[in-house]
Amino acid sequence: MTAAGPVGILGGTFDPIHHAHLRLALEAWMACGLDHVRFIPSATPPHRTAPGASAVHRLAMVELAIAGNPAFVADRRELDRAMPSYTIDTVASLRTDLGAARPLCLIVGADAFALFETWRRWRELLDQVHLIVAHRPGFAVTPDTPALAAEFARRCTDDPANLRDTPGGRIHPLAITALDIAASRIRADLAAGRSSRYLLPDAVVGYIEAHCLYPRGKA
């Protein structure tokens, strides 16, 4: 890891982590020249139902999935907070550790970006971090609401090198390999007794089986 390169942030429940998460992180790391990507499992996600697996299991699966890649780091800070997992609070914690000048790049999908106005203190968050908005090739990032569209027009940059100049404030659309894998579908498959092999790293498949996570009959 370098002293001052941009740091990628990939948050989520990772319930469970799968190949689409890993490929997204890898492509953002390569395309945007990130120093490393931090996988940050959420403990209590404010905008969705409670995860099916415990925080301890979800962190363990992340650690297994990224093992062997020095550019990927598991970060447990949200699991150590006894409060909802708001990204603005996580960024403040990262700033304490990494410094106010370090570029931070929050990696989100186009679907999450479309709902960005529902995030706590979203405009402040846009000032604190850069956004890397991943989308399918051939599909433009087009915010639906006037407020988000205005911020996108003001902050958008097609050059990832611009993410290195300031600690935050820019939005970079990134076309990525489209892998249509969803954790909800994986959980449903497992509950129905279907195999999750090739959707997840083998080590994660083994962990799920060893710990009887997402048992059959419980979607």
Give the CATH number, domain containing residue 156.
3.40.50.620
Mean pLDDT for the stretch of residues 2-11: 84
Q: Which two tokens stand for residue 176?
A: 């990525």
138 within a domain of the structure (yes/no)? yes
Total tally of structural domains belonging to the chain: 1
Mean pLDDT for the stretch of residues 59-82: 95
2 within a domain of the structure (yes/no)? no
Mean pLDDT for the stretch of residues 195-200: 96
Provide, rounded to the nearest whole percent, the portion of the chain with pLDDT above 90: 84
215 within a domain of the structure (yes/no)? no
181 within a domain of the structure (yes/no)? yes
* Per-residue pLDDT at 129: 98
With CA atoms as reference, report the closest residue to 32 among 56, 53, 5.
5
69 within a domain of the structure (yes/no)? yes
* Per-residue pLDDT at 1: 40
* Per-residue pLDDT at 218: 63
Asked whether 204 and 65 are in contact (CB, 8 A), the reply is yes
Asked whether 154 and 123 are in contact (CB, 8 A), the reply is no
218 within a domain of the structure (yes/no)? no
Domain range enclosing 34: 7-210
Encoded amino acid at 195, one letter: S
Q: Give the contacts of 148 (CB within 8 A, at least 6 positions apart).
A: 113, 114, 116, 117
Exposure class string for 194-206: b at 16+ Cβ within 10 A, else e: eebeebbbebbbe
Q: Give the contacts of 141 (CB within 8 A, at least 6 positions apart).
A: 110, 113, 133, 135, 152, 173
